[in-house]
Amino acid sequence: MLRSIKSHQRMRRDLHIRVTGTGTAALASVMDYQQVSLTDNGTGLYTITLDQPFAEAPIVQLTSLTAGLFGEVVSSSSSAIQVRFKDSATQTATDAVFFMSIMGSDTADRH
């Protein structure tokens, strides 16, 4: 009798991005072969779009390089991540310089 065998081999991809969000927002560096694009959606609100989507929404880590700000993931899908930065004291949206690490897989099988 044959049993169903699941492969534990996955194609994991990590992206490390530095964004200069003050003034005209720009990708300062992207450490991966994958192409990404940045959209400045207004003060403190940014969308990173992946040219090659993951199988499902990835894990995202944000690190603000601008003192006194915190970042949050507003929405995340297999092909785009939207993040927002706010002033810690006033809770107002503020442009930021930040690092973003994105970790995902090409397969949805988690077993």
What is the full DSSP assignment across 74-99? EEE-SSEEEEEEEETTT--B---EEE
pLDDT of the residue at 79: 94
Q: What residue has token string 């940014």?
A: 46
Residue that is written with structure tokens 């002033």 in the block: 87
pLDDT (tens digit, 9 = 90+) per residue, 32-76? 656 789 999 999 999 999 988 999 999 999 999 999 999 999 999
Alpha-carbon span 35 to 75, nearest angstrom? 20
What pLDDT is attached to residue 111?
A: 47
pLDDT at position 13: 80
Cβ atoms 46, 19 nearer than 8 A:
yes
For the chain, the structural domain boundaries read: 13-105
* CA end-to-end span of the chain: 22
Strands (E), the chain: 12-20, 26-30, 36-40, 45-50, 59-64, 69-76, 80-87, 97-105
Q: Look at the domain 13-105 and name its fold.
A: Immunoglobulin-like (2.60.40)
pLDDT by residue (tens digit) across 3-31? 555 555 567 788 888 898 887 888 887 77
Query: Does the pLDDT value for residue 2 go beyond 60?
Result: no
Average pLDDT over residues 84-102: 94
**CA dist list (Å): 20 to 46, 53, 60, 69, 107:** 11, 23, 18, 14, 31
Global pTM value: 0.82
